[in-house]
A and B are shown apart, each in its own frame.
Chain A
Amino acid sequence: MHIPDGILPAAVSAAGYATAGAATWHSLRQINQKEDPRESIPKASLLTAAFFAASWIHIPVPPTSVHLVLNGLLGAVLGYYAFPAILIGLFFQAVMFQHGGLTSLGVNATMMGVPALLAHFIFRLRNVVGKESRMWTGVFGFLAGAGGLGIAALISLILLVTTIPAHLDVEAERASIYALTLAHAPLMALEGAFTALVVLFLQRVRPELLED
């Protein structure tokens, strides 16, 4: 899911930085409207680190195991801090572990962060139907998790298929986008189920974590 350096044309990388910049600016504006924006910084930072660590948890799917992206869960818990959190997480992954890259950081942050913000709005819909209800918390947790991953996968596949193999024909491009998106459906279900279970856990243990 992380696009490395060297794959995308410079124009796409620059456009990625522009969209990531705009999304960060919008998020920071929302954050700065809080009474004391600094109060939430330690919480958002430690949760960013925790999400980073939680993405190392491997789910056994014999014969292999998968690790989750958790961008939908991140959106549900961190709200507007989700975008800066993802930007920072991806920056660390690029400079420390060489997952993703410096020039593709903007593209990767947009790809993961914008769906996280959408997941935040999806999850907030539970306030409309009653946030005390465990069923609705689970349902919107599932939708946030599955939607966060699904939209991110769709953006990344469209980017990869339309930009890398410069000599593929349009029909083959379209077919491969459909096929690869469909291949992500089981992962979306898994991500959604996991997100639903985590938000239900949080609702039981520390409901204020879901208040943002």
Chain B
Amino acid sequence: MNLGLDEYAHLDSPLHRWEPRYKLVGLLVLAFAFSFVQDPRLLPAMLAAAFALYVVSRLPLSFLLTRLRVPGSFLLAVALLLPLFSGSTVLLRIGPLALREEGCLDLLLVVTKFIAILTTGLVLFGTAPFLTTIKAMRALGLPSVLSDMTLLTYRYLYEIGDDLETMETAMGLRGFRARRFNGRTLGVLASLAGSILVRSYEQSERVYKAMILRGYGHSSPPHDVAQARPRDVIALGGVLTLAAGFVATEILLRGFGG
């Protein structure tokens, strides 16, 4: 059960040692405080806070960089559109295109917030095994249907993905090439999707029987909730103060700016 997220969960840093429930609350509140920011003057402080967290977490830089690359396409579209179409103050005109000041500021805001929130999220989910984080969510009141479904989906996600890959290879070996778009291709691919659904449905019946045999659903095991140490509480207090600082400064700046 290693899907890349748990890769650095075994490192030792203050963020790895932070009690998961406190970490979850603190970092989620911080991520929301970041998304509240609209004033460009707060952006350097926001980036600094997110990167400081990342440095303290001792996660390698490559872990962050590879993940920043993935959602690039959506941001690229926003990056191309906003500076050209949003706003009225023209900075630079090249033929029919005009670079607008408001659009550039919007773009800066969107990209910086995106990086800061993504970094915070990576610190949150990268510094503890995924199972521990889900247990922390459960202890914080996540309904058992959701936590059970999350863990089971996590358990079988890549197994079913591998099944699909095997089936696609088998189709390829029998001469199927999905190159042209026509009714037959669509029909074959729909049967592939249907088969993967049927296979996982049949597997789920066996999984359920195995779970019942192991006592699933009869008594819920006691939560092994660790006692919070003073430093967990202090860390939570610190992060919440930081988040409140961003929100308060933003409100003050909006007040002054009219």
- A and B: bona fide binding partners: yes
Q: Which of A8, A46, A58, A77 is in CB contact (< 8 Å) with B156? A: A46
Q: Are A101 and B157 in contact, CB atoms less than 8 angstroms apart?
A: no
The residues in B between 32 and 63 inclusive whose CB is less than 8 angstroms from any CB of A are 32, 34-36, 38
Q: Which residue of A lies closest to B206 (CB)?
A: A42
* Least distance between B244 CB and chain A CB atoms (Å): 14
Most buried by A among B88, B112, B156, B191: B156
**A103-B31 in contact given A57-B192, A164-B110, A197-B187 (Cβ < 8 Å):** yes
Asked if B193 is at the interface (CB within 8 A of a chain A CB), the reply is: yes
CA A160 to CA B118, docked complex, whole Å: 19
- Compute how far the CA of A85 lies from the CA of B86 in the bound complex, rounded to whole angstroms: 37
In whole Å, how far is A136's beta carbon from the nearest beta carbon of chain B?
Answer: 18
- In angstroms, Cα B143 to Cα A167, docked, is 41
Main secondary structure of the interface of A (DSSP, over half): helix
Contact partner, B118, options A14, A53, A98, A206, Cβ 8 Å: A98
| A10 nearest CB neighbor, chain B only | B36
- Contact assessment for B121 and A165 in the assembled complex, using a CB-CB cutoff below 8 Å: no
Q: Taking A88-B153, A95-B125, A205-B198 as contacts, is the C-beta distance between A164 and B106 under 8 angstroms?
A: yes
Q: Is A185 an interface residue (CB 8 A)?
A: no
Cross-chain contact B149 with A48 (CB below 8 angstroms) = yes
Chain B residue contacts of A125, Cβ below 8 A: none
Interface-facing stretch out of A59-67, A116-124, A126-134, A147-155: A59-67
Q: Is the pair A54, B196 in contact by a Cβ cutoff of 8 Å?
A: yes
Between A44, A58, A59, A197, the greatest number of chain B beta carbons within 10 A of the residue's beta carbon is seen for A197
Partner of A42, one of B70, B143, B204: B204
Q: Are A5 and B86 in contact (CB under 8 A)?
A: no
**Least Cβ distance of B120 to chain A in Å?**
8
Q: Is B90 an interface residue (CB 8 A)?
A: no
B: interface residue count bin: 35 or more
**Nearest Cβ distance between residue A144 and chain B, in whole angstroms?**
14
Complex CA–CA separation, A24 to B143 (angstroms): 10
Docked Cα-Cα span, A114 to B195, in Å, equals: 26
Cβ contacts under 8 Å, B195 to chain A? 201, 205
CB-based nearest B residue for A50:
B200
CB distance from B123 to the nearest CB of A (A): 11
Q: Which of A5, A10, A85, A165 has most B Cβ within 10 Å?
A: A5
> Interface digits, A77-118 against B, CB 8 Å rule (1 contact, 0 not)?
100010011011101101111110111000000000000000
Asked if A168 and B117 make an inter-chain contact with CB atoms under 8 angstroms apart, the answer reads no
Interface pair B186/A194, CB less than 8 Å apart: yes
Please judge, given known A-B contacts A53-B157, A54-B164, whether A84 and B145 are in contact too, CB under 8 Å: yes
- Leading 10 A-B pairs by shortest Cβ distance: A6-B113, A6-B114, A197-B190, A45-B152, A201-B194, A5-B117, A10-B36, A165-B86, A50-B200, A46-B204
8 A-B pairs with CB atoms under 8 Å apart are A32-B145, A38-B217, A49-B200, A87-B146, A94-B121, A102-B120, A205-B194, A209-B201
Question: With contacts A92-B153, A194-B193 known, what are 18 further pairs, Cβ within 8 A?
Answer: A5-B114, A6-B34, A38-B216, A39-B208, A46-B204, A47-B197, A47-B201, A49-B200, A50-B199, A54-B193, A59-B178, A96-B5, A102-B117, A102-B124, A165-B81, A165-B82, A197-B190, A198-B197
